[in-house]
Amino acid sequence: MSVQTDAERALVATSQLVKRYGSQTALDGVDLQVPVGSVYGLVGPNGSGKTTLLSILAGLRRPSAGRSEVRADPGRVALVPDTPRFDPWLTAWECVDLARHLTAPHLPGERVDAALTQTGLAEAADRRCGGFSRGMLQRLGLATAVVSDPELLLLDEPCSALDPAGRREVLDLVAGFRGRATVLFSSHVLGDVQEICDTVGVLRRGTLLFQGPLADLLHGHARAGYALRLRAPVEPVAALLARQPWVTDVDAAAPDLLHVGVSDTDDAERHLPRLLADAGARMVSLVPLQPDLESVFLELTR
Amino acid sequence: MTAEGMQRSGAGTVARRRPMSLWRLERLRLLRSRRLVVLLGVFTFFGLTGPMLARYMGELLERFGGGVTVTVPEPVPADGITQYLANSSQIGVLVVLVVAAGALAFDATPELAAFLRARTPVRRLLMPRYVLSVLAAGTAFTVGMLAAWYETQVLLGGLPVGAMLVGIGLSWLYLAFAVAVVAVASALTRSVLATVALSAGLLLTLPIVGVVEPLRRWLPSHLVGAPDALLRGAAAADYTMAALATAAATVGLLLAAVRMLRRREL
């Protein structure tokens, strides 16, 4: 019996992928593996190479070195750029039907209406998209992608122009693809990635710093500590805590909030309440620190 | 609802939704962005004003000449078409370049290009844009020519049908070449303006190269004066070499455009 490796199970796999623009290196030896059926979140600061990577996978750019493999039918790979644009004299229905015609002409025309309904554009189906807001264009971009029943969906910052309600709808839509299609989703909004992605990749300056299940990333960077909210001023308490042998670090996360790292939670649980009482601190709340993607991301990319 | 289902317009009337294709996309571009109207308007205007200018040039110069006496030879029927061709081969062709560049320079808007190029090969994208641009330009030229022909007939006298038809055919060939030049220019630049400027520059270079006599008869620019020369007694065979070279160059330019666009990254 043969055992499949991660690379063999991946719908998208790159090997030592390099992309250079003149003297600038946009991607530097990226080994990406996007598991079949996963919702993969690609996070990274501006200029980290996310858009370049998605463009290579969509076939719009060529790598300078390395290998890129997409094991999906080319007609069922859909890319949605962060600011989709269409000919302004086309209606929303015509844009989506054109996408259907180009990628899945065998699918019935009803799919166009379904895609517009799915993305909240049913009412605007017969309006020319030249008058659409950026948020509506982003929804239209998604409609042109979902109409062809994609096997691989490449989404570049799909929520960047949406209002909170629109963002919620798009996140639900993308999450709904889990198991039916493979989604590679780049975003600056780490909360969105944490909410819907099961696998993450952290890209910085063209280098993939981490790749794997989201739980592994968070667990691997979990640290013992507490979020301590006090009535101001917090500085005297911070100074007092910093002198304790069981405290590893104290960060003033906000004017009334201290993040206290500890080496031993037993010592912390035993001594922290008395220390605060002796200092006369007015405590509002004390909760254990939960690792979130944002803090892990900042730690990785610092 | 099917792809050919019904849609309700803003005015409350019901119209049919028609399935999209790259050919329909180009038809809509010409109609909805008014490009066809502009092309027809420009060439028809020249077609209507050319023979009139030829017929009344003497009177106009006499009236507005400020006392200077200018002797203008009595106009002949061919002069009506000459005047139309003088305008259509300059301003008219420039309008054709602008309209064709608007369709062919699809990489000018990267997000729009990403939508199309991630879904279909460049060759499939280019052909409808090229063919419909040529059809629109040729139709506009022909409508203008027919207007000029009719007005010449009324004001100056009849024109030989055979020479007119061959002249229109050779002009279509030149326009097909000009649009192919736009296709190549769009593959070499990344904006509509640069595409127009490069195309115009390349087309203007040809008559300069044509100063060298042996080359002149082979150049596409030789076809520009063909309708006029044919009306004045030139033989159609005089344009065979230029027509063949133009057809070959057009095919070569289109193949080069496809190759360059396919290799170009977004």
Question: Contact A109/B28, CB-based, under 8 Å?
Answer: no
Residues A233, A195, single domain; the answer is no
pLDDT at A134: 85
Shared domain for A100 and A172, answered yes or no, is: yes
Residues A48 and A101 in one domain: yes
CB A171 within 8 A of CB A14: no
Helices (H), chain B: 22-32, 35-64, 77-87, 93-104, 110-117, 122-155, 161-188, 192-209, 213-216, 226-231, 240-263
In a domain, B166, yes or no: yes
In the predicted model, residues of chain A with pLDDT beneath 50 are 1
Residue B85 and residue B141: Cα distance in Å, rounded?
Answer: 9
Residues A163 and A275 in one domain: no
CB A213 within 8 A of CB A41: no
Per-residue pLDDT, A160: 81
Residues B77-104: pLDDT tens digits? 999 999 999 989 999 999 999 999 999 9
Q: Which of B110, B209, B39 has the alpha carbon at shortest distance from A79?
A: B110
Whole-number Cα distances in Å, A290 to A209, A242, B207: 21, 21, 76
Residue A84 class from Cβ within 10 Å (0-12 exposed, 13-18 middle, 19+ buried)?
buried
Are A29 and A91 part of one and the same domain? yes
| Residues A176 and A228 grouped into a single domain | no
pLDDT (mean) for B64-71: 70
- Using alpha carbons only, how large is chain A's radius of gyration in Å? 24
Residue from the list B3, B110, B117 with its beta carbon closest to the beta carbon of A112: B3
ipTM of the modeled complex: 0.87
Q: Is residue B9 a part of any domain in this protein?
A: no
Q: Would an 8 Å CB–CB cutoff place A99 in contact with chain B?
A: yes
Are A210 and A258 in the same domain?
no
A115 in contact with chain B, both atoms CB, cutoff 8 A: no
This prediction's pTM: 0.83
| Residue A26 located in a structural domain | yes
In a domain, B44, yes or no: yes
For residue A41, what are the domain limits? 6-219
Chain B CB contacts of A112 below 8 Å: 3
Residue A12 lies in a domain: yes
Residues A192 and A293 placed together within one structural domain of the fold: no
> How many structural domains comprise chain B?
1
| Start-to-end Cα distance in chain A | 44
Residue A22 CA to residue A24 CA, distance in Å, equals: 6
> Of A219, A252, A274, which one is at a domain's C-terminal end?
A219
| The predicted structure's pLDDT at residue A302 | 67
Domain total in chain A = 2
**How far is it, in rounded angstroms, from Cα B165 to Cα B168?**
5
Cβ atoms of B82 and B54 within 8 Å: the answer is yes
Q: Does residue B55 belong to any structural domain of this protein?
A: yes
A172 and A288, same structural domain? no
| pLDDT of the residue at A164 | 86
In tens, the pLDDT along B221-254 reads 999 999 999 999 899 999 999 999 999 999 999 9
Cis preceding linkage at B19, omega within 30:
no
Q: What is the pLDDT of residue A289?
A: 79
Domain that holds residue B242: 22-263
Please give the pLDDT value at position B171.
97
CB within 8 Å: A79 and B19: no
- Return the closest-CA partner of residue A164 out of A124, A125, A133, A135: A135
Q: Do B1 and A85 touch (CB under 8 A)?
A: no
> Do the domain assignments include residue A179?
yes
What amino acid is encoded at B157 in this protein? G
Contact A89 B32 (CB under 8 A): yes
Using an 8 Å Cβ cutoff, are B206 and B220 in contact?
yes
Amino acid letter, residue A108: P
Pick from A60, A77, A110: which is nearest to B2 by CB? A110
Could you tell me if A201 and A245 lie in one domain? Answer: no
State how far the Cα of B237 lies from the Cα of B230, in Å rounded to an integer. Answer: 10
Same domain membership, residue A265 and residue A171: no
Please report residues of B whose CB lies closer than 8 A to that of A100: 3, 20
CATH assignment of the domain containing A168: 3.40.50.300
Query: How buried is residue A107: exposed, middle or buried, by Cβ count under 10 Å (0-12/13-18/19+)?
Result: middle
pLDDT of residue B166: 96
Choose between B142 and B213: higher pLDDT: B142
Do the domain assignments include residue B5? Answer: no
Q: Do A32 and A171 belong to one domain?
A: yes
Q: What are phi and psi of B171, to 5 degrees?
A: -70, -40
Instruction: Please report the pLDDT score of residue B67 as a whole number.
Output: 67
Residue B80 within a domain:
yes
Amino acid identity for residue B147 in this structure: A
Under a CB-based contact definition with an 8 Å cutoff, are residues B94 and B181 in contact?
no
List pLDDT tens digits, range B104-134.
999 999 999 999 999 999 999 999 999 999 9
Choose one of A168, A190, A219: the last residue of a domain. A219
DSSP code per residue over B88-143: IIIIIHHHHHHHHHHHH-GGGSHHHHHHHHTTS-HHHHHHHHHHHHHHHHHHHHHH
- Specify the pLDDT at position B14: 41
The alpha carbon of residue B224 and the mean position of all alpha carbons in its chain are separated, in whole angstroms, by 11
pLDDT tens for each residue of A153-210: 999 988 887 888 878 888 888 888 887 899 999 987 788 888 889 899 999 999 999 8
Answer whether residue A1 is part of any domain.
no
Q: Do A97 and B3 touch (CB under 8 A)?
A: yes
